[in-house]
Structures are given as C-alpha cells and as structure tokens.
Structure 1
Amino acid sequence: MTIRVLLADDEPLILKGLRKLLPWEELGVEIVGQACDGDELDEQIRLLRPDVLISDISMPRKSGIDVLRGINEQGLPVKVVFISAYQEFSYAKEAISLGAVEYLIKPIEREQLRAALDKAMSLIREEGEENRRKDKLRRMETRQRTEEKREALSRLASGTLPAGADLYARLEAELRAPFYTVLALELGQLEDASGRWTETERNLVNFAVDNVLGELLAEPGSGAEGGLGTFFAKQERIVVIVPHSEAGRPYELAQDIKAKINDYLKLNVSIGIGLAVRSLGRLAESAQQAEQALDMKYFEGLNKLLPYAAQASAAVAESELYTLRSDVVQSLAERNGKRAQEALHKLLAAVRRTTEGNKGLAVATAFSSVLSIVQELQKSGVALSEEGFDLQGLQTRLGQYETFDSMAQGIGELLGELAEVIGNRTGNRDKMLLARIKQHIERHYADELTLESVAAVAFMNPYYFSAFFKKHTNENFKAYVTEVRMRHATQLLSNTDLLMYEVAEKVGYANARHFSDVFKKTCGMLPNEYRQSLRS
C-alpha cells in the first residue's frame, strides 16, 4: 500500500529540501502535492485526500493548527507532522493535544523526519487493521442476526414460534401490517443443463436470488412499514413473507420476482401464493397454502404463478380405472396403435383427476396402471422380460419427471414401444430401439453417460442392455461412446480454435489430461499433434 503525503510550507526552499531529504519512493511513499498557505492547504486536502500531512505550523492566511482543527471536525483520517522554527512549548502542546503525530523543530534532520514518518505510517497500518477487524466483526454480527432472524421466521411460518416469545414480539414490531401473505418459490434448472447443478453453480444461483429478493423487498411498497419484506430458505425452496395493506400486492410482488429471475438469471421459477391472514399467529396457514399451491406446478406446468385454491380431487372409481386399462390392453392386443394411444390418454386423464395436487400419488397410480397393463399383456403371451423391460427402473423414472404432462408423454412413448413389440417380432423393434439409443448418445455425449443411465432411457436393466448393445453393434457400450466423443473431438479440433480443456469439456471429459490420453489411444496422436497435422 502506497502512502500518500502532502507537503506544506510558505518557503519554497523548505519544500524543495523536504522532497530531497528522504528516498520517498523507496519507503513506499508518494508525494501527491504541496501547498504554500493555509487556504491552499485546505483545498489540497479536500482534493487529494492524503494519508499524511507534513506542514509548517505557521503559514499565511491560516495556521497549521487551524488546518488540523478542520481535519478533526471533518473526521478525516490524516496523520499530521508539524515542522516549525518556534520552540515554544505552547505550540507543541496544542499541536499534540489536537492529535498531531510529531512536532519537529527546523532545521529538520533526516533521521527526525524518517522517525516521524515511520510513526505516522505505523499508526495508519494499525488503524487499518483495526478497521478491518471491526468490519469483519460487523459482518459476522450482521450474518448472525440474519441467520437468527431467518430461523425465527422459519419457526413462525411452521407455527412453532410461541406468540409470547421475545422473537415473536420483535418480528411483529418489524413486520407490522394489516395483512400477511406467504410466497413459496422453487427454481427450475439452468437452461440446457443435464438436470444437475454443481455446488458452485448452486451457490452462485442462491447468491443471485438473494440479491434479487433483497432489492425487491427493499423497494417502497413491497411489504412492511419502510418497504421491507423478508425471506428465508427452506430445503430446495425459498419462503417470502409479505406484510401488506393492499390485497393485490403479494401477486404483484410475485410477478416482479418471476420477471427478474426469468430475465436476469435466465431461470424458470414457480411461485405458490398463500391466502392473506390478519396476524402473524396465523402465518403458518398462509405458508402451508403457499406450499400446497407450489406443489400444483407438477400438474399446472413450470414457471407459473400458482395462487392457492382449495383442491377437491374428483373421485374416480377403481372400476373406471380398470375399464380404461382394459381398453388400452385390448387396443394393443388388436395391434391398433392409434386407438391404444387414445385409450391411454383417457386413462391418464382419469389418473390426473383423482390425484390432482399430490405428485407422489399421481406417480404411484400411473405406475400401477402401467404395471397392470404390462401384466395383462404378459398373460396374453407377450414375453416382455425377454426384451429387458425393467419395471422397477420405470417407477424411478416416472418419479423423475417434473410435470404430469411430461410423465404422460413418457408413458405414451413407452406404449408406442409396447405396440412395436406386439406388432413386429421380426427384429424391427430392436432396430428402432437401437436407433433411439444411438440418437440419445449423439445428443448427450458431452454429459456424464453411464451404462445405467442409458439403460434407463431404453427401459432395460443394465445387464440386459449391455448384452443387447453388444449383440446389435458388435462393440461394447463404453467403446462406442468413446468413438462418438472422439469423432466430435476431431471436428472441434479441425474447425475451431478452442483450447484443449475446452474441447475436452465439450465432448464429456472433465480432465483434459485424460482426454488427451484417450485421444492418442484412439487416433494415434495427441490432440495438439492432430491439429498441427491439419494445418501443416
């Protein structure tokens, strides 16, 4: 850190001598300016903001003592060293009482000035360290208060904070308003992501969302008295408490939150909106409603505002589900694919009506329906087990769909495959399935492709899938994926100027060294050698 020094004396020769007296630059000091009278010195202090002032105590228009008083009144962190031709004790006493670091008598000796400068610099370092320590303590205290507040809010929203508790009283005073409404937020995944966030990505997203919510909830009219709402994290969701006086304010705030997260972070966000309550003691009701409303994203779709509405699932008799499943089985048995899809659509519509608002029940009911259809087909002589059909893997896969509609689409695709199995036993179904597997590999070669993940796409168990793939391609799964990745790597090396680690990442290798080794083993030369051979 360079120390900025300002010199002041009404004698030019003194100023010139001071500049030559010490090796300022070697000491880590920059002389930023000089002044010849008190008024000019005030102006230079204002403009240059020095760390240290070395000044004559007696100057025209305004004395050094007056300048020092002004420094103190403004609270400026300037260390002052006075030089003077006067030896009167009163001058020195007043200077020291006002905070001067040192009082030197002319003529100034090199060692005296060096010692005074060292003393000033030492004080600056000590104060800097003290300020940093205080700042750190303030940040820690702020973070602790924030964490304590969010913990109290979490208890308040869950109904476990007693109304007589001190924390309850403090929150009530801070969030005082006629009404309170809770919003529950859940973020979608990054666009074009594989469905998983790294810890770094999640931390960055959480930080950005905190900033967005902090800014919105600090705007006038966004919540409590003074324009302050508040929020806290709850597992994978964020809960926002909105104190308000206008009935429509929570919905407007939800719109603003969604717009900023969509536009600035390029993320989808679904927001459940509870009903307003008149006291903090009933906040848990609004929080529960917001959570229930957010759960409806599975049925209503992602990236939407979801106001709470009491759900009354339409009861569908098991006999009706049985009849609809039987229609699907009969259509498949008759090899009528179109009619089978229509029957499936009616079956899934009935599943949705009877499970609306409960994702777990929807998945379980859909799976049991598929299982029933498969069992009926097996009774009809369709050897699905020979096709590697993995029902246990199917249940897990159905639970991974983000919405009911996407799950229904997946089941529809499965039904199409079942129709192929029944309608064509000459091997065409295998060719169609293999083509779909290869297409999946082509689309996702840059992701983490495992035997298990691709087997799940084919609805096969991993052991059967490995044998199936080897039988129909004459090479094992890992070798085929490597071949696809190396083909794309050679294209990137030929047509782009990407660095090696960038090429590696784009073809599915997190480690550039490993990529180079695999490339050499496959292509007979290192990636850089391959690129050079093309350009030579």
Structure 2
Amino acid sequence: MYQVLVVEDEPLIRDAIVEMVQQMDGFKVTGEAASCEEGWRLVQELWPTLLITDIQLPDADGLELIHRIREQKLPIVSIIVSGHDNFPYAQHAIRLHVSEYLLKPISEQELHASIKRSLSRLESFAEPNQLLLDMQAFVDRMPEYHSVQLFERVDRIIDAIFGSRSGDQGAMISYCNILAGKLADCVKAIYPAFREAEMQPGAGRQQFRMYVHGLLHEWIKQYSLFAGNNMKLVIARACDYMERHLHEEIALSQIAEYSNLSASYFGVLFKQHTGRSFVNYFNQLRMDKAMELLRNPDLKIYEVAESVGFVSLPYFNRVFKQQLSMTPNEYRKSLGL
C-alpha cells in the first residue's frame, strides 16, 4: 500500500484530489495539509511514498517543500499540481526530479495516468520508506518499551541504516540525522534544558551506535522523572483547550504556543503522553462531538460538520469514516434515524 500526502490550500480542490487518489487500488491518502510547513511536519511524521502538492501555498511554494525532501534524500515521489503554466517553475521542478507537473483543472484520468507512470520510482523507494516508518514506529512507542528492548530495537534500526542495499552514502547520513534528531527531540520534550553533544560528521556504525545509545540513556533517566511531574498538567490543559475549541481549525503550532512550548517539543510530548498524534487526538474529539450532534435528527450533516470545525463536508465525511469505519449518514441509519 502506497501512502499519499496531499498538500493543497483550496479545500474543494484538495477534496477532489483525495477522492481521485482513493479510487486507485494500492494507494491511500494518509495526510492532508493546506500549507508548506504543515506539509513538511506531516512528511516527517507520516513518511508518505507519494506527495501531491500545489505550487502556490499560503506560506511558501510547493517547490520549497520538495526542495527539503530532496535535501534530506527522502524516498518520496513528488507530483506538482499548478494553476499556472509557468516555465521557470517547470524548470525548477525538473531540477528537483519532480515526477509529474500537472496543470489545473486536472481530471481523474490524468492524475491516475501520472501516478501509474511513477510506479517504478515508487517501487524503488519501498525499502528506504519502510526504514523511515520503522524509525517513526520506534520513536512513537518508546514509552512502552523497557530499557533492554529500547537498545535492542534501536540497534536493529541502526544496522538497517548501515546495511541498506542502495549503498547511497548521502541517504545513509540523512537517515542517521533523522533518527538522532527524533531521539534528541524526545529528550528535549521531557527535559527542555538538555543540550545534545554534536554528532561527529561521517560517523561509522559503531560511533553512531554509541551516540544514539547516549541519547537513549538520557531519555530513560529523564522519562522516569517526567512521568510524575507537572508536564502532565500542561498536556491536560492543552486537551481542555482543544475540547473548548472544537469548532475552530486549530494547528499544532497554535496549541504549542498556548502551552508555551515549541511546536516540535509539544508534538513529541503530546504523543508520548496521550499515545496519539495531535491531529488524531483532535479529530477524535471532534468526531465524539459530531456523533452527539448527529443523534439530533433536526440537524443537517453539513451543520454538524461546521459545528465541529470542518469547512469541507467531504473532508468531514472522510475523517468520520477513518475514525468510525462508517459515514455520518451510515451512523445515523445504524441508530434508526
């Protein structure tokens, strides 16, 4: 299954692209974003194999997002969707090895054809993409593991990085930086005063292993202290804020600022405390409220969607089905409404 991230600031166009992708066997949209920064955050959390992005975004253009992906040598195929036939943009896209450059409005047939033409590249990225997914799964589940498991599992990831069949030195260095960066963020999330030692450039397997083990030792030491201190109150306060603002579109950066933490630290801290990402947790709160409202037969489904902060009805339907495995209309029918 190929995971897809769609970055488009116009809700109707984003909805249309998502629906087109979902019609293809073997492809699933696992993330949606309306800006470059939100897209980049989701790239580093979801590790999609395919990115479909608009060029013109509110905070930066889609080429900036693709540039970051290329800079870190991430195994992601990129398809650009643009409202303008802009030759300089197309030239830049070619230099960034963009797979396809499509002009709006795009048809389902056109998008499907462009994705099919990208299949060989997608297949070649399967192994490194799985490595990134394994890294993320390890980081997300760190609080569940005892110390011996932590070191055993991270050693397997390190061996996979250095044992990659691609032999791409640049990619290997990038994956080392990603793993070390995520572990350092985990430590800083529970111990903001932490300052990690500088990792030696071009470190070999054993040197990198020692560096990572040092980060894990620090995390183990600090986590036991964190688990009982008032950081739990910070997350509880954030959750309470989210419950009181279900009707708004809250970004992770906004709730992090409310909590007086950086976005990266807050994201890690929130997931370690609740077991879910900020987006998944917030959507679950909204769906719980939506189910309550749907039990009122006098309310239209679009009114329920607006009440819990969704300006796009198709997006609301998608999130509802992801959380409950049924559409809002099917939920009502199950209640006999």
Greater Cα radius of gyration, structure 1 or 2: 1
Determine which structure has greater relative contact order: mean sequence separation of CA pairs < 8 Å that are 6+ residues apart, divided by chain length: 2
TM-score range with shorter-chain normalisation? 0.3 to 0.5
**What is the TM-score with the length of structure 2 in the denominator?**
0.37
